[in-house]
Amino acid sequence: MELKNERYEASGIDLLEVANEFGLPVYIYDGNKILDQYNRLLNAFKPVNIKIKYACKALNNSAILKLLKNAGSGLDTVSINEVKLGLRAGFNPDDIIFTPNCVSIEEIQEAVKLGVHINIDNISILEQFGSLYGNSVPCCIRINPHILAGGNSKISTGHIDSKFGISVYQLRHVLRVVKSSNILVTGLHMHTGSDILDAGVFLQGAEILFDAAKDFPDLKFIDFGSGFKVAYKEGDITTDIEELASSIAQSFLDFCKDYGRDLELWFEPGKYLVSESGYFLVKVNVLKQTTATVFVGVDSGMNHLIRPMLYDSYHSIVNLSNPNGKQRIYTVVGYICETDTFGWDRRINEVHEGDVLCFKNAGAYGFTMSSNYNARFRPAEVLIYNGKAQLIRKRETFDDLVQNEVDVQW
Residues noted as catalytic: 337
Q: Which of 188, 190, 216 is nearest to 203 (CA)?
A: 190
Distance (Å, whole) CA 160 – CA 179: 26
- Across the beta sheet with 13-14, the strand order is 2-4, 7-10, 13-14
Q: For residues 378, 346, 196 and 276, what is the CA-based torsion angle, rounded to 10 degrees? A: 50
Residue 107: Cβ within 10 Å count: 16
Please name every residue paired with 282 in a beta bridge, in sequence order, or none if there are none. 357
Q: Are the C-beta atoms of residues 176 and 130 closer than 8 Å to each other?
A: no
Q: Is 396 exposed, middle or buried (0-12, 13-18, 19+ CB in 10 A)?
A: middle
Please, what sign has the CA dihedral across residues 117, 123, 124, 129?
A: positive
Interhelix angle 62-71/80-88, nearest 10 degrees: 70
